[in-house]
Amino acid sequence: MPLVLLALDDTLLDRSGAFRLWAKGFIDEISAPQEDLEWLVSVDADGLTSRWDLADLICDRYQLKVPSIDLVDELYEGPLAFERLDPLVGCALEIAADAGIVPVVVTNGNSEQQEGRIRRTGLDRYVADWVISEQCGVSKPNPRIFALAAQRVRMRLAGAWVVGDSPEADIGGAAALGLPSVWLHRGREWMDTRFAPTRIVGNVIQGLSAIMATR
């Protein structure tokens, strides 16, 4: 019964797709050029840019006369309105569970927000448990967070798989533990020379299939 440790953003939930939909509406609302959509997506950097820094960049570019806190709140809450669990991902998780796989979410971020997303999208019905960095005091790629995830479901970490889209946080964490991993390329090339994923696929459904094929 293999344990599978899965990232949340752009793995189980399409965080980047939701941000893009929100960004398109925001660009329309402030009457900015449509080509600015790609600028906004780029500076967001898949959510790695802090919301405060992103708010400052937006205010400076468009000379917006709004309190930064209001824009920060919008950057947090706006994309969530567009976020959905892909039914095919839910189906894949059900099939994996029927095959004996135990899926656990391992994610960095704010505990209230990340758990809220897991529950609101219904993802909580398809995973055994989840571990959030703020809650446990350690972040990916630190091996400790993966060990805590295994403890949450009372399983051994040995033999677990790590699945995610981040070379550093997910695949780097797996490499530090000597665990097999699946990297979701999302149209990117693998560039890191320090370590490499066991499998490279396009999405989490293919990732779960690849793991089941090894059994």
The pLDDT tens digits of the residues spanning 108-159 come to: 999 999 999 999 999 999 999 999 999 999 999 999 999 999 999 999 999 9
CATH number, domain containing residue 183: 3.40.50.1000
pLDDT of the residue at 66: 83
What's the token pair of residue 107? 């994610």
The answer, yes or no, to whether residue 1 has pLDDT greater than 70, is no
Model pLDDT for residues 44-96, shown as the tens digit of each residue: 999 999 999 999 999 999 999 888 888 999 999 999 999 999 999 999 999 99
Residue 78 and residue 90 share a domain: no
The answer, yes or no, to whether residue 3 has pLDDT greater than 90, is yes
Q: Is the pTM of this model over 0.75?
A: yes
Residue 154 and residue 127 share a domain: yes
Going by the DSSP 8-state scheme, the letter that residue 188 receives in this structure is: P
Main-chain phi, psi angles of 104, to 5 degrees:
-130, 135
The answer, yes or no, to whether residue 33 has pLDDT greater than 70, is yes
Last residue of a domain, one of 82, 102, 132: 82
Residue 105 and residue 38 share a domain: no
Instruction: Scan for tokens 């402030």, then name that residue.
Output: 30
Q: Residues of 65-78 as b/e, b for ≥16 C-beta within 10 angstroms?
A: eeeeeebbebbeeb
Residue 109 and residue 195 share a domain: yes
